[in-house]
Chain A
Amino acid sequence: MSIFNFLKQRKDTTADIAKKRLQIIVSHQRGGDEEQKDFIPKLQQELINVISKYVKVDQDQVKVELERTGDCSILELNITLPDTLA
């Protein structure tokens, strides 16, 4: 079960898919703001530490991604909790 799954899945058009893919590519290509991306691994580790206090999660069940479009950034958190919790 995935809580934190705030974004309801809606049917994406192919143009929507293209846009999402491009936003990720562009945010990587514009990697100029290194200090901005540098904190991601650390944030991920700290999140895992905090969550681990309450439930058992694996390293790869916590995903953190930073997407940049123009002058706004979106931090995407995806934490998958084990089914036993449900």
Chain B
Amino acid sequence: MSKKKQTCEVIVVTSGKGGVGKTTSSAAISTGLAERGYRTAVIDFDVGLRNLDLVMGCERRVVYDFVNVIQGEATLNQAMIKDKRFDNLFILPASQTRDKDALDKDSVGRVINELKESFDYIICDSPAGIEAGAVMAMYFADQAIIVTNPEVSSVRDSDRILGILASRSHRAEEGKERIKEHLLITRFSPERAAKGDMLSVQDVQEILSVPLLGVIPESKSVLRASNEGIPVINDKDSDAGQAYSDAIKRFLGEETPMRFIEKAGIFQRLFGASTE
């Protein structure tokens, strides 16, 4: 399949705080873009703690990894794994045995430039933290998806990451146009927000003042999807899967109302998407 877009865009999925849903979101977003016909590569930057292969269900097909490619021990073609469902989606797994210092800017830049020739989108799944690994994942980004849970430490860390995106990326260092930022709120519970036990979508958005790409509800379907190694966006009946599909629409410039942000009424509970 040939490229759909003239220029490739690099998108980092980042958060600062760990465990907020970056890998889940990277898997869903890359799958969603591929489903829309874009040639998509998703790179696991979490060197030493690879996980994306599991969420994408391709862990048994990993032979070479990102670090092998960086160090010239394998070609990109050898290391990239074709997705089971979409033949325009490829996964570049992280190394499990090296550490984050195995990546250097020059080599990562070289790999990304090579990928840009044959892909429309490159999704970079960032490791947690604000150190070298996270900076490397965002360094070449054109756009950033900030994954935030409606919870104080996650919001604070997201704000830290916004500062780093604005100062330490390639675009910032070269004085180019700034990285386009998107806020993705995940693990949101409308019931708890309605009770005042959880920050509302509006609260989080107001504090961070980044345009809202989507709200992914807390959902049992996410764990089930990762158990099976099928990105949750493939589960068209689930609330989280539908919320990720909506986010893809917005990312591609289509307007669609935010769903799953208000407490479900009886009608929705009977006929709406499954939260189970």
Which of B156, B193, B196 is in CB contact (< 8 Å) with A22? B156
Contact B209 A22 (CB under 8 A): no
Of A15, A21, A29, A69, the contact of B209 (CB 8 Å cutoff): A69
Contact B199 A15 (CB under 8 A): yes
Residue among B193, B203, B207 with the highest chain A CB neighbour number at 10 A: B207
Query: A29 → chain B, closest Cβ, in Å?
Result: 5
Could you tell me the distance between the alpha carbons of A48 and B66 in the complex, rounded to whole angstroms? 61
Smallest CB gap from A32: residue in B: B163
Interchain CB contact under 8 A, A15 and B197: yes
A21 neighbours in B (Cβ, 8 Å): 152
- Whether the Cβ atoms of A29 and B199 lie closer than 8 Å is no
Answer yes or no: A71 CB below 8 A from chain B CBs: yes
**CB-based contact A15/B203 at 8 Å:** yes
Instruction: Give A15 to B206 CA distance when docked, in angstroms.
Output: 13
Question: How distant is the Cα of A29 from the Cα of B155 in the complex, in angstroms?
Answer: 12
Count of residues in B whose CB is under 8 Å from the partner chain? 19
What residues of chain B lie closer than 8 Å to A70, measured between beta carbons?
206, 209
Contact between A71 and B209, CB atoms less than 8 A apart: yes
CB pair A19–B159 under 8 Å, yes or no, is no
Q: Are A23 and B163 in contact (CB under 8 A)?
A: no
Chain B residues with a Cβ under 8 A of chain A = 151-152, 155-156, 159-160, 163, 193, 195-200, 203, 206-209
Given contacts A19-B203, A70-B206, 14 further A-B contacts (CB under 8 A): A13-B195, A15-B197, A15-B200, A18-B152, A21-B152, A22-B155, A23-B207, A25-B156, A26-B159, A29-B159, A29-B160, A30-B159, A69-B206, A69-B209
Q: List 9 A-B pairs, minimum CB-CB distance, nearest first.
A: A13-B196, A70-B209, A19-B203, A15-B196, A22-B207, A26-B159, A15-B199, A18-B152, A22-B155
